[in-house]
Amino acid sequence: MERIVTKDDYLKSLREQGHLVYFNGERVEDVTSHPAFRPHVNAAAKTYEMALMPEYEDLATAISHLTGERISRFTHIHQSVEDLIKKVQLLRAIAHETGSCFQRCVGWDALNATFMTTYEIDQKHGTDYHTRFLEYLKYIQSTNRMVVGGMTDTKGDRSLPPHQQKDRDVFTHVAERRDDGIIIRGNKAHQTGGANSHEILIMPTQFMREEDADFALTCAIPLNSPGVVQIFGRQTNDDRRIHSPLDAGNAEYGLVGGETLIVFEDVFVPWERVFMCGETEFSGLLVERFATLHRQNYGGCKGGVSDVLVGACALASEMQGSAKASHVKEKMAEMMHLTETLYAGSVSCSAMGQKTASGAFYPDPLLANCTKHNVTRHVYEIARLAHDVAGGILATMPSEADLRHPEIGKYVEKYLSGVHGVTTENRMRVLRLIENMTGGTALVESMHGAGSPQTQKVMYGRLAKMDMKKKWAAKLAQVEE
C-alpha cells in the first residue's frame, strides 16, 4: 500500500478500502462522504495534516528507532521520557484544533504495549512474536496506516470466565489453528475510530487463566478482511449532523470518536500477524500496559478539549453580558484550574516514566491511573460549570430551522439576541458547541474510556505500596513490631 501523507491520501485510502460498515440498519459504502461519519474522518485527518505543518513537526513526527526514517508519532515507539511528554503535548495541541477525539491514540498505545510485551514473551518462551511484530510495525510506520487498539470485548455473563460462556464469541478467541495461521471469532466493542481505520490490533481484554488460553490472543487484522463487520454506534444528537450543521455544535469534527462494534466471523490471520497465542501469563501484563499508556493520554486530550470548552464559555458569557460578573469569573477560574490539573497528571506520569526491558519507555502506572481517575470526576465538574455559565438556554434553544424560518425566524433572532453587536446566529453557534461538548456521549466516554473508575481503584491497591506506607507510619509513631 502507498504511504499515507496528506488528508487526501487518507480519504482516498478509506474510499478504496471496501470494508463493511453499517449505520442505522444500512451499509455505508463511503464513510468519507456520509454525514454521520464525516466529522470523525475529519478529526482523524487532522493528525495527518498537522504532521505536515512545520510548527508541529517536532510533536507530530518522530524518527523511527527501527529504520531511522521520519514517521508519524502515532506509529512511534517511545524511546525516552521526552517522547512520553511530547505525546501528551501533541494530544493537547490536536484537541485544540478539533475540540473532539481524533481517534489515533488507542492504536498507538496498542503498538507500544505489544512491543514491550512480545519482547518479554520471547525472552521467556523462545518464541518469535517480537520479531514478527517488528516487521508489522515497520509496515505500519512506512505506510502510516491508522490502527484501532482492539481491547474491549462485550464479555457476556461477567460472572463467568471466557471458557464457561454459553456463547464463546462474546470474547475474541482462536477458533481453529492451522499450519498457515489461525481462525478467530468474537468481537471488540467501543472501538474508537473503527469505521475510518485500516487495521485493528487485537489484545486480550483481561487477565486469562490457563483454561482460557484460546482467549489470550494478540494479532493484527486489516479491517477489510473477509468476515469483519462493523456496526457504528449512535451518539447524542447525531441526527443533527444530517439536518443542521449549526445544531450539530461541532459540525467539522463531531463528538467523541465514532465508536463501532467490530465482529469477527471466522476471520483468517496468518501466523506472521499473530503476536500472542495462548501465553496466558502475559495477558494481564499486556492489558495493564495498554491501560497505563492509554490512561496517560487523558490529561492531554481532555485537557485540550477542556481548553476549547473554557474558551466557548468565555465567549458565551461575553455575548450575553455576564463576563464581568464575579461569580462567572470564579467559575471560569475553577474550570481552568481543573483543566490544568488534568494536564499536570499526564505530564507527571510521563516525566516519571521508566525504560522497560524491550527498550521502550513506559509512564508511571500509579500516576497514570490517578490521571484517568481525575478525568472521571473533573470533566463532569467542568461540564457542570459550563452549564452554569451558559445558562438554561443551552437546553431549550430553538433549532437552526426556526432561525431560518420566513415567519418565526424574526422572533428567534430578536429574543435570543444578547449584547448589542453580537449576532443571534453567532451566539447560537457558541451555545451549540457547549451543548455538544458537554452532552451525554462526551461525558460517558470520559467516565469509561480507558477503563471505568473501579479499574483505577484496583490498580491503586496493586501499586500504592501500602506495606511500605504502614512501615513509615509505624516508625514515626514508634510502634513496636
**Helical (H) or strand (E) element with 116:** helix 105-125
Q: Are 343 and 299 in contact (CB under 8 A)?
A: yes
Q: How confident is the model over 461-472, as a mean pLDDT?
A: 89
Q: Regarding the domain delimited by 7-281, which CATH topology (the fold level of the hierarchy) does it fall under? A: Butyryl-CoA Dehydrogenase, subunit A; domain 2 (2.40.110)
Between CA 85 and CA 70 the distance in angstroms is: 18
Instruction: Give catalytic status of residue 301 as yes or no.
Output: yes
Are the CB atoms for 129 and 121 separated by under 8 Å? yes
Q: How would residue 417 be classed by pLDDT, with cut points 50, 70 and 90?
A: very high
Q: What is the Cα–Cα distance from 367 to 351, expressed in whole angstroms?
A: 10
Cell of 438: 458537554
Share above pLDDT 90 across residues of the chain, in percent, rounded to a whole number:
90
Q: For residue 219, indicate whether it is catalytic.
A: no
**Residue 294 among the catalytic residues:** yes
- Distances in Å between the Cα of 422 and the Cα atoms of 265, 309, 312, 314, 419 are 55, 19, 15, 14, 6
Would you call 277 a catalytic residue per the annotation?
no
Given 48, 253, 298, 343, which residue is catalytic? Answer: 298
Annotation marks residue 22 as catalytic: no
8 A C-beta contact, residue 319 and residue 394: no
Residue 460's pLDDT band (cuts 50, 70, 90): confident
Instruction: Read off the pLDDT of each residue in 353-364 and give the average, rounded to a whole number.
Output: 98
Range 384-414 burial, b when 16+ CB lie within 10 A, else e: ebbbebbeebbeebbbbebbeeeeebeebbe
Q: Which of 19, 76, 101, 349 is catalytic?
A: 101
Say what the pLDDT of residue 208 is: 97
Domain ranges of the chain: 7-281, 285-465
Q: From CA 14, how far away is CA 37, in angstroms rounded?
A: 12
Q: What is the pLDDT of residues 276-320, one digit of tens each?
A: 999 999 999 999 999 999 999 999 999 999 999 999 999 999 999
pLDDT at 333: 98
Give the per-residue pLDDT at 241.
Answer: 86
Instruction: From the candidates 294, 343, 349, 435, give the one annotated as an active-site residue.
Output: 294
Domain 285-465 has CATH 1.20.140.10: yes
The residue from 301, 313, 349, 370 that is catalytic is 301
Whether 313 is a known active-site residue: answer no
Active-site residue among 48, 56, 105, 280?
A: 105
Q: Which of 192, 205, 438, 441 is catalytic?
A: 192
